[in-house]
Amino acid sequence: MIIVLKSDATQAQIDHIVERITKLGLKPLVSKGVERTIIGVIGPEDILRVTPLEVFPGVENVMPVLTPYKLAARDFKTEGTTIKLGGNLVIGARKVIVMAGPCAIENLDNLYEIAKAVKKAGATVLRGGAFKPRTSPYSFQGLGEEGLKYLSQVGKELGLATVTEVMDTRDIALVERYADILQIGARNMQNFNLLKEVGLTKKPILLKRGLSSTIKDLLMSAEYVLSGGNLNLMLCERGIRTFEDSTRNTLDISAVPVIKQLSHLPVIIDPSHAAGKWNLVSPLAKAGVAAGCDGLIIEVHSHPEEALSDGAQSLLPEKFSELMQELRILAKAVGREL
């Protein structure tokens, strides 16, 4: 922690700060420059983080030196985390994992039809929402447990792992029973109770970045899950909120290499939610793979015109299949496979 003092800070103010830091068991180092005095603090920064040094008289600015996350940090674990699903499926290894399926699970037949198509095209994880976070109380809210059953049944029958969102602490046990990967949605990225409790499960977690969350915020939320004991965590970039309105959100493609530098956790790209338009999904998926992501999660619907949710951003199965072929070539060109 570096404490920058005001140009007119008095000696008494400096002494007061030094005394307080010493009392906390840390070691202050005062350096007087021409224009400013600076106090460096040596010792565990966490103790200081909860002390509001900014309000001490004479303080202008406080600059943390260490990252506030620990378990999520690359410093903590140099090698990339790999997450094993059933079969030979590993997330975070050479193979880029593709998760695909409808936004919402609507009925068994439709899910089965879509699942068969995405499996054929090469997807290995089936996505589908049973609990849907909808902006409007008047929109379709998902089938709930019935949807989970369909997902599990279709996944088993076709040999696909499954991923679905859990929105409520009360539903964790239920979702855990049916799905292989538990998704925490963007709107719940800072629902800290939910994070804590999925951190107590054994299931792999897919944590989506919030619309206005920095990468640091995302890693802090990751810390909630990891500190609960669940290390099977992957992070998902799905677009952030900006002033640009030609896409629903702005896919922050830099998040891929930045997270890879700061953390050991696998990174998934969601081009469907970022773009909000099916005809942008393909270029964004390719950009994700080229930038080094470990997986993609893509919305596919066999009848987008009839979809109960997010039809506008769903790929038709044949478009998805084309994309998979293109991605296969692309993945090889960047030293991965699909």
Chain positions 105 to 134 lying near a second copy, rule: CB under 8 A, are 133-134
| Cβ 138 to a second copy shortest distance, Å | 6
Which listed residue (111, 117, 118, 167) binds a second copy by CB under 8 A? 167
Backbone φ and ψ for 51, nearest 5 degrees, come out as -100, 120
Q: Which is nearer to a second copy, 157 or 306 (CB)?
A: 306
Site for a second copy in 248-277 (CB under 8 A): 250-258, 261-262, 274-275, 277
- CA 299 – CA 311 distance, rounded (Å): 9
- Kindly give, in sequence order, each residue whose CB lies less than 8 Å from that of residue 145, ignoring residues fewer than 6 positions away: 130, 174
What pairing do the DSSP bridges indicate for beta strands 205-208 and 233-237? parallel
**Binding region for a second copy (CB under 8 A) out of 43-51, 87-95, 114-122, 143-151:** 43-51
Encoding tokens for residue 160?
């696909």
> Residue 272 — left, alpha, or beta (φ > 0 → left; ψ -120 to 50 → alpha)?
alpha
Rule CB under 8 A: is residue 138 a binding residue for a second copy?
yes
**Binding region for a second copy (CB under 8 A) out of 29-37, 89-97, 117-125, 317-325:** 29-37
Site for a second copy in 57-116 (CB under 8 A): 61, 63, 65-66, 68-69, 75
CA end-to-end span of the chain, whole Å?
44
Q: Which is nearer to a second copy, 167 or 298 (CB)?
A: 167
Beta-bridge mates of residue 84: 90
Instruction: Answer whether 276's CB lies under 8 Å from 90's CB.
Output: no
Rule CB under 8 A: is residue 12 a binding residue for a second copy?
no
How many residues sit close enough to a second copy to count as binding (CB under 8 A)? Answer: 110
**Binding region for a second copy (CB under 8 A) out of 81-89, 146-154, 176-184, 209-217:** 209-217
Encoding tokens for residue 181?
């990967």
